[in-house]
Amino acid sequence: MPPTLLFFFFFPLLSSAQLNHTSFSLSFPLTSLPLPTNTASNMLRDSLIVYTNRTRNTTRLVSPSSPYNYRLTFNYSMALIVNLPIGTPPQVQPMVLDTGSQLSWIQCHKKPPRLPPPTASFDPSRSSTFSNLPCTHPVCKPRIPDFTLPTSCDQNRLCHYSYFYADGTYAEGNLVREKFTFSRSLFTPPLILGCATESTDPRGILGMNRGRLSFASQSKITKFSYCVPTRETRPGSTPTGSFYLGHNPNSLRFRFIPMLTFAQSQRMPNLDPLAYTVALQGIRIGGRKLNISPAVFRADAGGSGQTMVDSGSEFTYLVNEAYDKVRAEVVRTVGPRMKKDYVYGGIADMCFDGNAIEIGRMIGDMVFEFEKGVEIVIPKEGVLASVEGGVHCVGIGNSDKLGAASNIIGNFHQQNLWVEFDLANRRVGFGAADCSRLAP
């Protein structure tokens, strides 16, 4: 897998979650860079912002104003890494913010005495609130509703899991319960998550889809939002955006579209019923509306063609019919400049060796159209992604080559954009912003 191609989402097989909601509002720094190999204690920097209000001996989050500071420095990647304090006392863990998967999991390794860990992994022996799930727990039963994770009993009668993603990465370990501890008076209840002892990624996953075991559902949040910073390739740059759980003070200017939800009886083999599915209606390039039927962007009788908003995928992916129309328009405008016989990551073949700014101007702005006049506008300066060796590609891949049969709006096309997932009202909101300037 090429180093910049990140594609984190998991396709469950059964019905969508029944969400319960309470007021829960936090603000995190969100950074599009991966972790260096040093300990979490050396990386505490910037800010997570919360207010607490005690009513009847309970803690309620009401306003993102009082600082609780931490921030990490990363090497460059297009994964969105939020660093969360887990356990009691808290240990800061880097996690990929992924709206396309359900299970949250962290790296779990007991640290040898006097030796630093190879990565920022979680040490269960240091947390007083950590517990393992036994095999008898209902979640460990195979194919329970909304959660089709392969589980088994290990030699200690603990619940073992294996989790595989569409890009071929995986994680396995035990299912456990643990708190996210933001301060002495502010923490989640124990949540079910994975404690990975084997994985192909040095970071964990913050599962944020609509499944009942996602972080969003277990924490009973009503909404969450993030603002992806502009992608940077300059040495030493650390683009940082913002991530809110709960109320976002910027949301009054967001424009919303409804989520498409699916009945439990609609068990279509190619459908992900737990994804944040929206009705994309069309695509414009350089002011030219492409001749693509809106039906291409909706699930057909077998579930193929749904359009998902996914923070865990770097590029946007389109099914054959839509991808071919986009490619034809790019060929029409800049065909002679394209890099011949070059395919990035096996999925993107609209690539160039020449001046990216000049080529972007020739292609023009790209626009994803939704209902009620809501649009995602990708300015011509941001149409091309730098991939490797001076090569730049249009940030769109062919999802059929991945075997996904879905349209996926990735984080590359969410740059400088607030994206809010309003779970209570089943809608997705967008708001243009300079995300790098908004971060604390």
Asked about 400 being catalytic, the answer comes back as: no
Catalytic-role residue among 146, 201, 272, 310: 310
The answer to whether the CB of 286 falls within 8 A of the CB of 377 is no
- Residue showing tokens 């509306």: 289
3-state secondary structure (DSSP) of residue 138:
helix
Is 98 labeled as catalytic in the residue annotation? Answer: yes
Rounded CA-CA distance 28/47 in Å is 7
* 316-318 and 396-398 strand pairing: parallel
Q: For residue 308, what are the β-bridge partners?
A: 277, 408
Torsion angle, alpha carbons of 154, 157, 158, 160, to 10: 30
DSSP per-residue letters across 326-374: HHHHHHHHHGGGBPTT--BTTTB--EESS-HHHHHHHH--EEEE-GGG-
Burial class (CB in 10 A: 0-12, 13-18, 19+), 47: middle
DSSP 435: H
Provide the terminal-to-terminal Cα distance of the chain, rounded to the nearest Å.
33
Q: Which of 98, 146, 167, 272 is catalytic?
A: 98
CB 23 within 8 A of CB 40: no
User: With contact defined as beta carbons under 8 Å apart, do 240 and 30 qualify?
Assistant: yes
Give the largest Cα separation in the chain, rounded.
69
Catalytic residues: 98, 310
